[in-house]
């Protein structure tokens, strides 16, 4: 009998030794693969941009109490995670099995203890649920408030950008930055960094308890982890690439749709619907393929996680059963403890794999939020704007209206000047007319006067003061501009005339509309001054939109009036009506008039003829006709056109 026991003891020692070697081997493999994956990622790309993350979290500074609360709750969740499985182990090993072993008369105290522990577990479950609710709510609340503040800041930055940025940046791209990309930054808080920290703390907490309870069993259960690490790495890479493609496809879709809806009348006029629909189909296909690639990665990864969990569970049952069988004779008490330990480790593994299922996905969400943040910060870091230090502080109560251009050179890009050595002076109350062929630089002069663009050389003065010294708002508020392409916002006629300025009353609007001759027309619209003109004034004709812009200019009572081909989009009868209003409007004001119809500028105090960005002639209407130069030829060309009889 003794020999049989000794033989059994030797066999047990041998098996335990072999299992120890296996567990050490698996541990070494796990560490080696982890280091390999880390080394593989580092030379390829920068895994994480902490400087960028720091900039994002600066927007959370006003809500730092909520931020620290969320971190505290993540620690609480991590502490609570392994408690319930451990209580299950204690209940099974000490009270359930122990209660069955004692005499029947002593069973009631054991039953009471089991009930007490069960109640404790219910309390812990409720507490964990409440903490998890507040954790999810606070992180989502924090993300939404950061998004709100960031979106306001980005929109304010866009409002302050120079027009040159809008000349070279698609509107759809800025729309994506302001809406989609900023919304992705919300995920950094709700599904990104803070939840990742909570999951990592939970994983560490569970692992610590597992190794404290039984480090050998823990190593056996974690043996399949290298497979999970490899799968997680490839999943992260695949989904990250797909998400980048999705984000680029969304930007392309936004830009394409916005551009083509805006120009829908052109598409339909030239019967281009099918061709442009084919282009949209290609862009939409790229968006679909990128999403399908991400879905494929998810479809592969999650079954792999389930397989690894199943293998870990199998190893757990095999090891626990083997240990219990080997120790049933030598150490019956320890063998009986394996039942509770096995059940608790089964629960530990589920707690361990639950965050592991989503942590790679959350890391991708975090990365996409960082990519979106990088794009948003490119807008915020754009230096093509007028800083406060250069906006000037000169803000006179009134402006007389003297304008002087002194050897001004201007180019939209590089040194390709569209205006060259422009010099002229307008005295207060005078009217300057600028004529020339399309592309000669007429509109550029107006854009420089109100500092929409900045000159490369020369000086522009208003009332003998450099416009760079003027407060920007004060300078622009003294100017009334009627552009050739009138933009109307979605809203009522009244809102578009007043630009929602509460200081302008309805009575003043009606008075100005009556002066222009638009009051009767407006009253014929459904709702009168409350009629919704729709986006870009789509329900009004070009001439009607032009007339509304005249009312707008009249209401702001400017010291300097600029009319950029203001009568080019109206018929002859409307032109006569507008001309009468212009005569009243420019009385006593410095005015700059740009017009193709030379008949509208005969009364101008001075006329400038531009050609290829240079002043070719300057003088009154009669003086320029006598010179028989550029102006005379332009005038004769228009006069000859009027003499051609209509067919």
CATH code of the domain in which 275 resides: 1.20.1560.10
Cβ partners under 8 Å of residue 378, min gap 6: none
Cβ pair 312, 224 in contact under 8 A: yes
The torsion angle over the Cα atoms of residues 203, 209, 213 and 216, rounded to 10 degrees, is 30
Q: Give the Å distances, CA to CA, from 365 to 12, 66, 379.
A: 49, 21, 21
Residue 321 has pLDDT above 80, yes or no: yes
Cβ pair 448, 468 in contact under 8 A: no
Range of the domain at 515: 394-643
Tell me, yes or no, whether 54 lies in a domain.
no
- Same domain? For 337 and 400 the reply is no
Indicate the pLDDT class of residue 391, thresholds 50, 70 and 90: low
Between the ranges 62-76, 262-276, 534-548, where is the mean pLDDT highest?
62-76
Query: Do the strands 590-594 and 560-564 form a parallel or antiparallel pair, or are they unpaired?
Result: parallel
- Same domain? For 98 and 222 the reply is yes
Cα–Cα distance, 155 to 456 (Å, whole number): 28
Q: In this predicted model, which residue has the larger pLDDT, 237 or 510?
A: 510
Tell me, yes or no, whether 7 lies in a domain.
no
Residue 7 has pLDDT above 60, yes or no: no
Helices (H), 91-224: 97-101, 107-160, 163-168, 171-176, 182-187, 193-213, 215-221
Q: Which of 38, 49, 131 is nearest to 83 (CA)?
A: 131
3-state secondary structure of 419: strand
Cα–Cα distance, 41 to 49 (Å, whole number): 14
pLDDT of 639:
58
pLDDT of 175:
72
Q: Give the Å distances, CA to CA, from 360 to 8, 229, 363.
A: 47, 10, 5
3-state secondary structure of 388: helix
pLDDT of 577:
65
400-452 pLDDT, tens digit each: 889 999 999 998 877 788 899 999 999 998 888 888 887 788 888 888 888 88
Average pLDDT value for residue range 49-69: 85
The torsion angle over the Cα atoms of residues 281, 285, 286 and 292, rounded to 10 degrees, is 160
Residue 330 has pLDDT above 70, yes or no: yes
Residue with tokens 């050897």: 407
Cα–Cα distance, 185 to 498 (Å, whole number): 36
pLDDT of 445:
87
DSSP category for residue 502: T
| Average model confidence (pLDDT) across the chain | 78
CA 226 to chain centre: 37
3-state secondary structure of 595: coil
pLDDT of 98:
54
- Same domain? For 328 and 474 the reply is no
Tell me, yes or no, whether 15 lies in a domain.
no
pLDDT of 503:
82
Q: In this predicted model, which residue has the larger pLDDT, 208 or 585?
A: 208
Q: In this predicted model, which residue has the larger pLDDT, 74 or 245?
A: 74
Cα–Cα distance, 205 to 82 (Å, whole number): 7
Cα–Cα distance, 47 to 238 (Å, whole number): 15
Query: Do the strands 431-436 and 606-611 form a parallel or antiparallel pair, or are they unpaired?
Result: parallel
Q: Which of 157, 152, 149, 147 is nearest to 182 (CA)?
A: 147
Q: Give the Å distances, CA to CA, from 621 to 437, 598, 617, 628, 632.
A: 17, 9, 11, 11, 9
- Same domain? For 326 and 434 the reply is no
Helices (H), 45-106: 50-58, 64-80, 83-90, 97-101
Cα–Cα distance, 80 to 32 (Å, whole number): 31
pLDDT of 641:
53
Which tokens belong to 265?
């009348």
Residue with tokens 């004769």: 636
Last residue of a domain, one of 321, 356, 380: 380
Tell me, yes or no, whether 4 lies in a domain.
no
Average pLDDT value for residue range 225-242: 80
- Same domain? For 403 and 375 the reply is no
Task: Residue 502: give its domain's CATH number.
Answer: 3.40.50.300
Query: Do the strands 560-564 and 457-462 form a parallel or antiparallel pair, or are they unpaired?
Result: unpaired
Cα–Cα distance, 443 to 542 (Å, whole number): 19
Tell me, yes or no, whether 473 lies in a domain.
yes
Percent pLDDT > 70 in the chain is: 80
Between the ranges 2-6, 509-513, 540-544, where is the mean pLDDT highest?
509-513
Average pLDDT value for residue range 616-637: 84
Q: How many domains does the chain have?
A: 2
Average pLDDT value for residue range 296-310: 84
Residue 539 has pLDDT above 60, yes or no: yes
CA 225 to chain centre: 37
pLDDT of 572:
63
pLDDT of 524:
84
- Same domain? For 273 and 349 the reply is yes
- Same domain? For 428 and 354 the reply is no
Percent pLDDT > 90 in the chain is: 5
Last residue of a domain, one of 357, 380, 403: 380
pLDDT of 550:
78
62-111 pLDDT, tens digit each: 998 988 898 899 889 888 888 888 888 888 777 655 554 444 444 566 66
- Same domain? For 343 and 370 the reply is yes
Which tokens belong to 472?
């920007």
- Same domain? For 142 and 218 the reply is yes
Cβ pair 158, 174 in contact under 8 A: yes
Which tokens belong to 470?
């003027």
Phi, psi of 483 (to 5 degrees): -90, 160
Cβ pair 550, 513 in contact under 8 A: no
Cα end-to-end distance, the chain, whole Å: 129
pLDDT of 131:
92
Q: What is the pTM of this model?
A: 0.65
Query: Do the strands 403-411 and 457-462 form a parallel or antiparallel pair, or are they unpaired?
Result: antiparallel
- Same domain? For 520 and 484 the reply is yes
Last residue of a domain, one of 380, 405, 439: 380
Cα–Cα distance, 474 to 559 (Å, whole number): 11
Indicate the pLDDT class of residue 35, thresholds 50, 70 and 90: very low
Which tokens belong to 494?
């009244």
Tell me, yes or no, whether 18 lies in a domain.
no
Q: In this predicted model, which residue has the larger pLDDT, 589 or 171?
A: 589
Average pLDDT value for residue range 370-384: 81
Residue 626 has pLDDT above 90, yes or no: no
Which tokens belong to 145?
């408030």
Indicate the pLDDT class of residue 134, thresholds 50, 70 and 90: very high
**Angle formed by the axes of helices 107-160 and 64-80, nearest 10°:** 150
Average pLDDT value for residue range 166-177: 69
| Strand-pair partners of 432 | 592, 606
- Same domain? For 105 and 195 the reply is yes
Between the ranges 128-132, 384-388, 495-499, where is the mean pLDDT highest?
128-132
Cβ pair 592, 585 in contact under 8 A: no
Indicate the pLDDT class of residue 569, thresholds 50, 70 and 90: low
Cα–Cα distance, 606 to 623 (Å, whole number): 10
Angle at 221 between CA 216 and CA 222, to 5 degrees: 95
Residue 492 has pLDDT above 70, yes or no: yes
pLDDT of 406:
92
Long-range contacts of 261-268 (CB under 8 A, 24+ apart): 262/536
Tell me, yes or no, whether 13 lies in a domain.
no
Average pLDDT value for residue range 360-375: 78
From 196-205, 343-352, 634-643, the region with the lowest mean pLDDT: 634-643
- Same domain? For 113 and 241 the reply is yes
Tell me, yes or no, whether 102 lies in a domain.
yes
Average pLDDT value for residue range 111-123: 81
């Amino acid at each position: 009998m003794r020999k049989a026991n000794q033989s059994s003891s030797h066999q047990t020692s041998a098996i335990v030794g072999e299992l120890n070697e296996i567990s050490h081997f698996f541990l070494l493999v796990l560490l080696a693969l982890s280091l390999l994956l880390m080394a593989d990622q580092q030379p390829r790309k920068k895994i994480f941009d902490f400087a960028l993350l720091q900039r994002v979290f600066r927007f959370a500074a006003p809500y730092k109490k909520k931020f620290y609360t969320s971190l505290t709750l993540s620690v609480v969740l991590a502490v609570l995670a392994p408690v319930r499985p451990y209580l299950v182990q204690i209940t099974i090993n000490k009270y359930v099995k122990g209660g069955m072993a004692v005499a029947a008369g002593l069973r009631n105290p054991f039953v009471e203890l089991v009930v007490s522990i069960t109640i404790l577990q219910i309390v812990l479950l409720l507490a964990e649920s409440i903490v998890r609710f507040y954790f999810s709510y606070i992180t989502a609340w924090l993300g939404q408030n950061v998004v709100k503040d960031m979106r306001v800041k980005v929109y304010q930055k866009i409002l302050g950008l120079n027009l040159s940025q809008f000349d070279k940046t698609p509107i759809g791209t800025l729309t994506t930055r302001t809406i989609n990309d900023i919304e992705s930054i919300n995920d950094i808080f709700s599904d990104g960094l803070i939840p990742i920290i909570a999951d990592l703390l939970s994983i560490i907490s569970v692992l610590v308890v597992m190794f404290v309870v039984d480090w050998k069993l823990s190593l056996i259960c974690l043996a399949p982890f290298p497979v999970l690490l490899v799968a997680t790495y490839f999943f992260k890479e695949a989904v990250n690439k797909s998400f980048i493609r999705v984000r680029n496809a969304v930007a392309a879709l936004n830009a394409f749709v916005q551009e083509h809806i805006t120009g829908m009348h052109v598409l339909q006029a030239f019967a281009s619907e099918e061709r442009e629909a084919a282009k949209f189909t290609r862009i939409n296909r790229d968006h679909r393929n990128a999403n399908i690639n991400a879905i494929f990665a998810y479809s592969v990864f999650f079954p792999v996680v389930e397989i690894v969990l199943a293998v870990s569970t199998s190893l757990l049952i095999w090891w626990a059963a083997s240990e219990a069988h080997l120790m049933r004779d030598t150490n019956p008490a320890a063998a009986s403890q394996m039942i509770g330990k096995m059940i608790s480790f089964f629960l530990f593994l589920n707690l361990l794999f639950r965050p592991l299922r989503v942590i790679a996905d959350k890391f991708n969400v975090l990365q996409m939020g960082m990519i979106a943040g990088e794009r948003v910060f490119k807008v915020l870091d754009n230096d093509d704007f007028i800083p406060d230090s250069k906006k000037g502080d000169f803000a006179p109560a009134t402006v007389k209206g003297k304008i002087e251009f002194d050897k001004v050179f201007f180019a939209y890009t590089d040194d390709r000047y569209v205006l060259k050595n422009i010099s002229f002076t307008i005295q207060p109350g005078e009217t300057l007319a600028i004529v020339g062929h399309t592309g000669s630089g007429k509109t550029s002069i107006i854009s420089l006067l109100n500092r929409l663009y900045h000159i490369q050389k020369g000086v522009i003065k208003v009332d003998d003061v450099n416009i760079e010294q003027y407060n920007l708002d004060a300078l622009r508020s003294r100017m009334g501009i009627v552009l050739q392409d009138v933009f109307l916002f979605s809203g009522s006629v009244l809102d578009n005339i007043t630009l929602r300025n509460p200081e302008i009353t309805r009575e003043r609007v009606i008075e100005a509309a009556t002066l222009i001759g638009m009051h009767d027309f407006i009253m014929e619209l459904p709702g009168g001054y409350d009629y919704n003109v729709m986006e870009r004034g789509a329900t009004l004709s070009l001439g009607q939109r032009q007339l509304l812009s005249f009312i707008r200019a009249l209401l702001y009572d400017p010291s300097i009036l600029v009319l950029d081909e203001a009568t080019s989009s109206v018929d002859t009868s409307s032109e006569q009506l507008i001309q009468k209003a212009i005569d009243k409007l420019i009385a006593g004001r410095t005015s700059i008039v740009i017009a193709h119809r030379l008949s509208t500028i005969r009364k101008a105090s001075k006329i400038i003829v531009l050609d290829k960005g240079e002043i070719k002639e300057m003088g009154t209407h009669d003086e320029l006709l006598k010179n028989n130069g550029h102006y005379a030829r332009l005038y004769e060309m228009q006069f000859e056109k009027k003499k051609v009889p209509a067919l």
